[in-house]
Every structure is written in C-alpha cells, then in structure tokens.
Structure 1
Amino acid sequence: MPSDAPTTPRAGDALLLVDVQNDFLPGGNLAVSHGDEIIPPLNRLIQSFSRRSLPIFATRDWHPPQHCSFHEQAGPWPPHCVAGTQGAAFPANLALPHDTAIVSKATTVDQDAYSGFGGTELHYQLRGAGARRLFVGGLATDYCVLNTVRDAVAKGYEVLLLTDAVRAVDVQPGDGDRAVDEMQKLGASLIASAQVAD
C-alpha cells in the first residue's frame, strides 16, 4: 500500500517519466491497457516540479525500423516506437516543459533496453542535476518501469514509485502487481501522486 504521508519535492529530487509514448497508449502499436490514465497525475507532478525548478527527465524507446525486439526479427513485440514516427512521440496532452531532459534508449538494431539506464547517459545526467531521490511514473509497470527502478536503486537513488501513474502490460495476469511488490522489496517507496505537494 502507498504511504499516506504527504511529500514535498525538494532540492535533490527529480521527476522521471518512463516511456510515456503514443505507441504504448490506447490505439498504439503496443498499447498498455488504460495507459492514458497516467497522464493527468503526471501532468500535476510536472507542474509541481516545474514550479520548484526541479529537473524532469523523460525516457523513450527510440528504435530503428529493424529492431531486435520486433516480431519480424524474432523478438517478443510488435514494431513500436520507431524513431521519428508519431508512435514514438510523446502524447500531445503530456505537458512536458521545454527543458525536459529526453533520454533515448534501445537506439541500435541489435540492443534492447527496458531500463532507462540501459546504454544511456541517464545516470550521469541525474548526477549532474544533483538528483538523489527519483519520483517515477510511466509505462509499463512490469517492464520498463520495473527495470528502471531496479537500476535506480542499484545505483543508490531513493525511489518513490507513483502508484497511480503507472500501468502494466500484464502478459501474465498479475505481472504488474508482482512488479510493484518487487520494487517495494528492493527499497522503493509507494506513493500516490495526490500526496505530492503542488
């Protein structure tokens, strides 16, 4: 269960949005059920962090057309988030400020990356921004969010998982719940976006 204690973003905090992209939203090539429901709480957090001049990071899949994760290359997924396409874009109603740090991952044909830290400069960028505590939301709970949180904890960040701002693929029923349990066992705290001060 999420903690009920209110939390105020402060120096050393960063908001990390994981793969909130059109192809993962309803109507996309790899849609996460109810994925669009995370956008209102994320927008509220974006405003809260922006008002405090705290850093905001957004990861994205940015795949070449023949990416190894696609069915045609014997991968597990349909083609999605091909670099430069509308499917790879952030949704128009996600209110990312102009100074959001965009982190592209899985950008080569032969390498996949579920974690935002996988083959990217995210760790160095977070350290450069002075981030020690990460507020994490995005898609999908049981894949890219889980792996990003695993790596964040392993690298020494305190992680607050925004429970109402994540949704799961649930290839196997309950995958999302199991992912949340794992993240909590790793040391992530569970928090609802409404507990974060405006």
Structure 2
Amino acid sequence: MKPLATDALLVIDMQSDFCPGGSLAVDEGDSIVPLINKLGRRFEHVILTQDWHPEGHISFASAHPGSQPYTVTEVAYGPQTLWPDHCLKGSSGAAFHPALDLPHAELIVRKGFRREIDSYSAFLENDHRTPTGLAGYVRERGLKRLFLCGLAYDFCVRFSAIDGTALGFECIVIEDASKAVGLPGSVESTNEAFADAGIKRERSDV
C-alpha cells in the first residue's frame, strides 16, 4: 500500500468506550491502535470520526423503557439496534483511545449528536438522507480514495464504506486494522454487503 496525494486514511470511532474497559467494548478493540498509528504515518491526509451522543440518545436501550441492549426496535427512520449508553459527549469514554497518535489528522467528524437519530456512517446519518458534511470536505480537498479502519468493522466501518462508495469515492477497508462487534450474522452480512458494493477488503502491509 503506497498512498497517493489524493488518498486519505479514515479512522472510525477509535474511542475509549469501544475499547476494553469501555461501556460498549469491542473485543480486543485496542489491539489495532498501534497498527493504525503506523498506517497514519504513511498518509498525508488523515480524518477521524467520533461518536458524540447526548444523554437519552435514541440508540441507548436505557431510552426505551423495558428494552435490553443488543436488541432491535423500530424508530421513525427504520430498525435501530439498541446499545448500552456510550460515548456521551465530553465524557472520558467519548475521548479517543489515549494511545491513538495521529497528530496530523486534519478533521474530526462528530456524529450521533442529534438525540433523535443515530449515525453509524461517517457520511450520512441513519435515515440515509442527512449528511454529516464529510463528503463535501473530501470533494473540496480533492481526495479520491479512502482507506477505512477502526471500530467497528460490522457497523460504523461498514456503513461508512458503503455510503462513501455510493457517493462516488473509492473505499477500501483495511481488515487487520478493524475489529467487529460480532453480533449474530453481522460479520457475514458485512462481507456480503462489501462484495455487493464492489468494496475491496485488504490487509495492511506495515
């Protein structure tokens, strides 16, 4: 992998709450931090996303009396997986993992900050209509190809890659620099979705 001047590394949600010890920990989620740091040093352009939820967010099981985390409910924009409270804006859990070392990152995209809508994708909220503004930034900077990594492979990395591809960018998922939540069938359906969208899955070579 030799990044071009029009490539960017898109690092998805490398936050403390998604790592061991956090409220929505991905198994071994912190293990990819050193690799992401190495990858970041190869890219001129690095963009970070950050889950940034208010209290009572629609994705929290606690906001739906009688509901349990990891179940699915229907909301105005369709099915919504319910999660433990996580990444409350301004909290230590919402902060980037302390070992993440990407000082040249040029943009942080915060998502999920509207109480009544979740946002897995770096590009669109979960109604699949409301933009985050990232697509406009990437276009105005003249970036063409996006390499995605981070947490979690089967949710936010997945939806970011699919939406980015639909918006006209070439998206490549770096598998060994991503970790999955691993709900029943979620990794398999993610791999199928990537194949259907023509999204490449590659391994780093650092």
TM-score, length basis structure 1: 0.88
Q: Contact 1:38/1:165 (CA < 8 Å) preserved in 2?
A: yes
Contact 1:55 1:129 in 2 (8 A): no
Give distance in 1, aligned partners of 2:42 and 2:192.
27
Deviations 1:13-68 (A, max 9, x none): 0110111110000110000011112112111111111xxxx211111110001111
Greater relative contact order: 1 or 2 (C-alpha under 8 angstroms, separation 6 or more)? 1
In the alignment, residue 134 of structure 2 is paired with which amino acid? Answer: L
Partner of 1:73: 63
1:183 maps to 2:194: yes
Residue 184 of structure 1 and its aligned partner are, at CA, apart by 3.0
Secondary structure of 1:144's partner? helix
2:133 aligns to what?
A: 121
Structure number with higher helix proportion:
1
Give the structure 2 partner of residue 41 of structure 1. Answer: 35
1:62 aligns with 52
How far apart in 1 are the matches of 2:98 and 2:16?
9
Once the two structures are TM-superposed, the CA of residue 178 in structure 1 deviates from its matched residue by 3.0
Q: CA deviation at 1:181?
A: 3.3
Map Cα deviations across residues 155-185 of structure 1 (whole Å, 9 max, x no partner): 111111101011111121x422431332133
Give the deviation of 1:100 after TM superposition. Answer: 2.9
Counterparts of 2:98 and 2:149 in 1: how far apart (Å)?
17
1:86-127 per-residue CA deviation (whole Å, 9 max, x = no partner) reads 100001111121543100001111111111112311111111
Q: Distance in 2 between matches of 1:131 and 1:177?
A: 30
What is the CA deviation profile of residues 110-153 of structure 1, one whole-angstrom value per residue up to 9, with x for unaligned ones? 11111111231111111122111001001111111111111011
TM-score (norm 2): 0.85
Contact 2:172–2:201 under 8 Å retained in 1? yes
After TM superposition, the structure 1 stretch with the greater mean CA deviation from structure 2, 181-190 or 152-161, is: 181-190
RMSD: 1.4
Q: 1:25 aligns with which of 13, 19, 23?
A: 19
Q: Distance in 1 between matches of 2:84 and 2:116?
A: 16
- The one-letter amino acid paired with 2:83 is W
Deviating 4+ runs (over 2 angstroms): none
Counterparts of 1:62 and 1:14, CA distance in 2: 22
Identity %: 41
1:20–1:99 distance in 2 versus 1, CA, 3 Å: closer
- Structure 2 residue runs of 5 or longer lacking an equivalent are 65-80, 125-130
In the alignment of these two chains, the number of paired residues is 184
